[in-house]
Amino acid sequence: MRRRLSYSNVVATLALFLALGLGGAYAADKITSNDIAKSAVTSKAIKNKTVKGKDVKDKTLTGADYKDGSVRPADLFGATVVSPPLSNGGEGDCLWTDFSTEIPPLQPVSYRRNGYGEVTFSGAAVPVDGPGGDGACDGAGPDASGDSVVLVIPPEDRPARPHIFPSAGGILIVAGVNDLGLGANTVPAGSVVTSVSGSAFLNGVSFLAANASGSPAPTNGTDRISRSRLRELGS
């Protein structure tokens, strides 16, 4: 005998469908990594760019997880390139001029700091007489120390202590985080100093910034290089 649909039959059927539907949604929401077979999820099943650094547990990735040559030093340690302004002698009488303004193919005066805190310079500059001050870039008189300053390194990239480098038959001195006494004169912290009788070749000037790991501690007070020591270094 044919069963007749009744109100109670319809309600019961709808209730069954709703229960099954809600139950499925609830179960999907509760799926964890324990419910997925090992190696069941492949790279093709993951949408590109959806896995972020925060999704990877700290200290779980090792060198074996990266393809050889896929990670470059620049990916691990960012590098910055800085083009510091050149000095004008303090009074506009000694204009240090970038070689690249006269010979464009040359590398401009700049330095590169890598993620290790290593600062490396490139480029060269030459002193030119300017209209200010005594009008002469001769390293003489009361502004002698100002004439010899090629540029000043920003505070965050200065070395802890002074450095001395050979340059064009003479020497080039980089002051550290303290002011530097050179004989009877004093130059500001971070100054790059050389003789005004020649060009300042900065290639090869490299040092560790004071705030980098492994840098020596700065000394207290003004750093000094005696006049006799300067004569020895310049000879």
Burial of 158 (0-12, 13-18, 19+ CB in 10 A): buried
* Predicted pLDDT at 1: 47
Of the ranges 20-24, 83-87, 101-105, 160-164, which one carries the lowest mean pLDDT score?
Answer: 20-24
- The residue among 229, 101, 119 whose CA lies nearest residue 174 is 119
Of the ranges 2-6, 61-65, 219-223, which one carries the lowest mean pLDDT score?
Answer: 2-6
Whether residue 136 is contained in a domain is answered as: yes
Whether residue 134 is contained in a domain is answered as: yes
Q: Which residues pair with 149 in a beta bridge?
A: 193
Whether residue 14 is contained in a domain is answered as: no
Exposure string of 43-70, with b = 16+ CB inside 10 Å and e = fewer, is eeeeeeeeeeeeeeeeeeeeeeeeeeee
Whether the predicted pLDDT of 2 surpasses 60 = no
Whether residue 81 is contained in a domain is answered as: yes
Structural domain total, the chain: 1
* Predicted pLDDT at 228: 83
Whether residue 88 is contained in a domain is answered as: yes
Contact (CB, 8 A) for 151 and 145: no
**Mean pLDDT over all residues of the chain?**
82
Using a CB cutoff of 8 Å and minimum separation of 24, what contacts does 2-11 make? Answer: none
Whether residue 227 is contained in a domain is answered as: yes
Distances from the Cα of 156 to the Cα of 73, 109, 190, angstroms: 22, 18, 10
Q: Which residue has the higher pLDDT, 61 or 216?
A: 216
Whether residue 143 is contained in a domain is answered as: yes
Question: SS3 string of 209-235?
Answer: ECCCCCCCCCCCCCEEECHHHHHHHHC
Whether residue 15 is contained in a domain is answered as: no
Burial of 84 (0-12, 13-18, 19+ CB in 10 A): middle
Residues spanned by the domain of 92: 73-234
Name 182's Cβ contacts closer than 8 Å, sequence gap at least 6. Answer: 145, 173, 193, 225, 230
* Predicted pLDDT at 116: 94
Whether the predicted pLDDT of 110 surpasses 80 = yes
